[in-house]
Structure 1
């Protein structure tokens, strides 16, 4: 017959083990709750430093790329201004519209040496100013944004200059009105923006003042002046030139902004 103490130990031991397992499970759950409710530890200083360093490197690369493309655009616009100055000034000199002093050293295009650099610098400034004003106003110019349209605009601008030198009218007023209509037609065909119209008028006004100053000081002169010291159609040439160079600058800026460097 089994003894009472044997029966007691055989019954109490499993219960005791179950009780201990229950206590361990409760302690583990409490520890998990404490760990879950505790605030996360801050990232290590080394990882944070690497993140900040990577951000600075990315910003530095972006800034360097932006400056690189700005220099590229400036050089292209300067070159365009120099070429246009040589070609268009040749037309004016051949028709005896513009006269330079005899002591001026002429190039192969019979132009003063300072004319191409000045026109190239002006073209670079105007070409960079147009997209800058568009960005400032928040009105990106998207009318006929392709190089084929820009090349047609250049061709029309050269044609307007050719007309100013070749066409013979009864008086300068008729010639000036004709060139003014052609210049506005160029703006309407290839630009149609308020910023382009405003900048074109501003450029024409400032360039006319500078030309008046140069002619007044005897740097060069115009034959048959009818608008103070210059020809009355000259502001039309400056206006159409500003619109043309502005379109070139806009196209360059748009192509560079859509390149992978700026993605």
Structure 2
């Protein structure tokens, strides 16, 4: 498939025009025109680029790409080495941030909820395309039981603040760095909140508003959307796709 056609295909699937983001979604670094072999991963780190070079990939497709609002603009140091490697090997870089988080089927929230037996009901925010969502556990669990389930599924013990004596039934979630949504979840009387990261104030919010909190890792909660997108591209469009997980403890 030609590069521009592939970019349009991704835009048709993920609809980046529907949400305001902190980075450009779509093609970020231009490479060869014909795309057959794709490497997917969470972040366009040097390690992922090196793996894509070894795989002789035509394109890299990630959740965390480049050119974030507020970042240093000069292409020097680490950024030069990364972009230089892409250009030298004629590899395209495509990145989708919030559009991949919120996709109702292959998105990060949807995929994590599926893995943890959470039935998503609606957005947590009172707007279209809410970044955080809310729903119910298919089977009510104590905080300790749910923490054990997270650890087993993600192979990562979560950071927790368990303050409730009753079992968790309702739950809100936002993969990645979504800890700021805990207050909105508490305002709505939700039993628990799940995300990737925690801030110092998050634990106080949990304790003072009686809402269980789970931080399961930014990387660990966002492995599954990009993987699902790659699987869709392979199954429905015939691309050769390799998901490469460059582990990150954060």
Q: Does the alignment reach a TM-score above 0.5?
A: no
Structure with greater helix share of residues: 1
Q: Which has the larger radius of gyration?
A: 1
| TM, length-normalised to structure 1 | 0.32
Compare relative contact order (CA 8 Å, sep 6+) and give the higher one, 1 or 2. 1
Structure with greater strand share of residues: 2
| TM, length-normalised to structure 2 | 0.33
